[in-house]
Amino acid sequence: MAIAKTIDLAITNADFRTQISNNKNAPAQILIAKKKIKQIEQLVGTNSKVGDIDVHQALLESVTKFIQKNGLVLQDFPQPYESFSNGYVTKTAQLRVEGGFVKLLKLIDFLEKNYHVGTVVAVDFKTTKELRTRKRKLAATIYIQNVKTETDE
């Protein structure tokens, strides 16, 4: 009976030692988890600094400033589309801008680097030909998404 208790204590002691050795690298695992969370937040556009900012208004302000500086034309800026799924609210804003290809690419680059409220998820380029002037015009439809948890709303 005494030997059985000793063996049980030895097994429990070995279990505790493995738990202690697993917990020694816990700070490193926490740092890795925090880095992964930051990467996910960058991908989906969630930002804790956003707060109560109207995403649509912030996008309009930043795009308007850039467009005025670079001679582009804002053709369409409808209200964002919202979808609810798995506890998340996804707002998708769409804007259509007309201008030269390089200037449109610069606008997209500007939005990707400086617009921290959402993420550019897609761009669709289309050319149209005016019948009167027979000139071609290039327009880009840019889709920007912002993902938040439903509790933030």
Q: Rounded to whole angstroms, how far apart are CA atoms 10 and 7? A: 5
Per-residue pLDDT tens digits for 30-44:
888 888 887 776 665
Give me the pLDDT at residue 45, please.
52
Give whole-number Cα distances, 87 to 42, 52, 54, in Å: 18, 19, 20
Per-residue pLDDT tens digits for 62-111:
889 899 998 899 998 888 888 888 777 888 889 999 999 999 999 999 98
For 30, the 3-state DSSP assignment is: helix
pTM: 0.63
